[in-house]
Amino acid sequence: MSTLHAENLEDLNAEAKRRMGKTVEDLRHELASIRTGRASVSILDPVRVDYYGSPLPLNQVANLSTPEPSLIMVQPWDVSQIGAIEKAIMRSNLGLTPANNGTVIRLPIPPLTEERRKDLVKQLHRIVEQHRVAARNVRRDANEIAKKMLKDKKISEDEQHRNHDEIQKLTDSFIKEIEAVGAGKEKEILEIG
């Protein structure tokens, strides 16, 4: 990520808040693709279909739905592409076995084994930690810019200390949010049935 840019402390804090917010947004997006025991079309987000020579996201070539808690239905807009869609799902290593009836593809979501749940929780913890670090990096960048402002005599020492505390509070609140998002996803993964 690029470094923060700001002319004054208000801009600096607003930019830090915006970047930490994007970190939480990115975490939510990344966690949506982790499979839980429940069917969710977002687990198909990484699937790219070779559509007449162009790799397109699955949701751009088919209608995706979850008619049952353990089933995803993929209904291609162009039925001639059903084979390409099926191949793309198989290549995606999501552990899903497509069932093709000629017009729609059914993706039964098998229940997760205890071992797979533990692996997913480990993966989840790694992702959450990466996002905690990203939030801390924004804090570090903001504090460095404030120190430079002090050195350049744009702000007083008191202002720099106050801003340091403000950035720390901001970081703490975003890390708390990151941990809450992670805990929610962990509960979802460990939930059986």
CA 163, CA 6: separation in Å to the nearest integer?
13
Name the residue with higher pLDDT: 170 or 192.
170
Predicted pLDDT of residue 1: 40
Summarize pLDDT for 125-146 with one digit per residue, the tens.
999 999 999 999 999 999 999 9
The torsion angles phi and psi of 5, rounded to 5 degrees, stand at -130, 130
Summarize pLDDT for 25-42 with one digit per residue, the tens.
999 988 887 767 677 788
